[in-house]
Amino acid sequence: MKKTSIIVNAILAIAVIVLYVLHFCDSGRGGYAPGAINASDSSSVAAEGSIVYIQIDSLVNKYDMFHELRLEFEQKAKSADDDLTKRGRSFEREAKDFQEKVQKGLITRSQAEELQMKLQQKQQDLQQYAEKLRVDMTEEETVMLRRIYDAVLTYLTEYNTTRNYSLILSTSGTTNAVMQGHPSLNITHDVLKGLNDSYVKTKK
C-alpha cells in the first residue's frame, strides 16, 4: 500500500476552521507580498483591538506537535505497507508454484481444483486486509488531525483572552486573507512560540 499523505494541506484547512470557530473572520482571496508577511520581522506586539494575522502554513510547518505526530503516523504507515508487501509477495510465490505444478502435471486435477480454491480465498483475504489497512490508516490520520485541531483551538482561546484582538485573519500559500500587512500585526511567531511551549509542558 503506497499512500500519499495530504497531512499538511488538511491541517492548513483545519487551522483556518479553528480561526473561524473562534469568531475570527477569514474573508477574501488574493496574493500577498512575501516581504511584508514574515513572522521573524515582527518587532512589536500589536495593541489590543488590532486586526492581526497568522501565516497558517508557517505555523503548522514549525509546530513541534505536528512534526512528532506526523513522524508517528509515517512510521505506522510504513509498517503497514511493509506488512502488506510481505503478504503480497508470499501470495505471488504460492500462485507461481501452483502454476508450475499444473504446467508440469505434478498434481491431479482434483488437487489443482482444491489448491485453486485456496488461492482464490487467500487472494480475497489479502484484498480485505489491504482495505482494512487503508481504513485504519485513514482513521489514524483523522485522529491526528483532530489532535492538532484541539491543541490549536485550546491555545488560541486562551491566547486571545489576554491579547483582546478584534480580528485575527489567516493567510497561507493557497488561502489568503491578507494582501499587505505591517510586520507588527503578524502574530505567527508569537502564537507558534506559545504553542510549542505549551506542547513541551504536556510532555513533562
Would you say residue 2 lies in a domain?
A: no
Percent with pLDDT over 70 in the chain: 77
Angle between helices 64-104 and 7-21 (to 10 degrees): 140
Q: Place 181 in a pLDDT band, splitting at 50, 70 and 90.
A: confident
Return the C-alpha cell found at 71: 513522524
pLDDT of residue 202: 85
Q: Check whether 2 has a pLDDT greater than 70.
A: no
Q: E strand or H helix at 145, and its extent?
A: helix 109-163
Total domain count for the chain? 1
Would you say residue 89 lies in a domain?
A: yes
Would you say residue 178 lies in a domain?
A: yes
Would you say residue 47 lies in a domain?
A: yes
Would you say residue 128 lies in a domain?
A: yes
Asked whether 2 and 146 are in contact (CB, 8 A), the reply is no
User: Mean of the pLDDT values across residues 156-176?
Assistant: 84
Q: List Cβ<8 Å contacts ≥24 apart for 22-30.
A: 22/153, 22/156, 22/157, 22/160, 22/168, 24/167, 24/168, 24/169, 24/170, 25/167, 25/169, 26/169, 26/170, 26/175, 26/177, 27/169, 27/177, 28/176, 28/177, 29/175, 29/176, 29/177, 30/176, 30/179
pLDDT of residue 44: 56
Would you say residue 64 lies in a domain?
A: yes
Grouping H, G, I as helix, E, B as strand and the rest as coil, residue 185 is: helix
- The alpha-helical segments, DSSP class H, found in 47-63 are 56-61
What is the extent of the structural domain holding 141?
Answer: 7-202
Would you say residue 180 lies in a domain?
A: yes
Would you say residue 37 lies in a domain?
A: yes
pLDDT tens digits for 30-65? 433 333 444 444 445 788 888 888 888 888 889 999
For residue 176, what are the β-bridge partners?
171
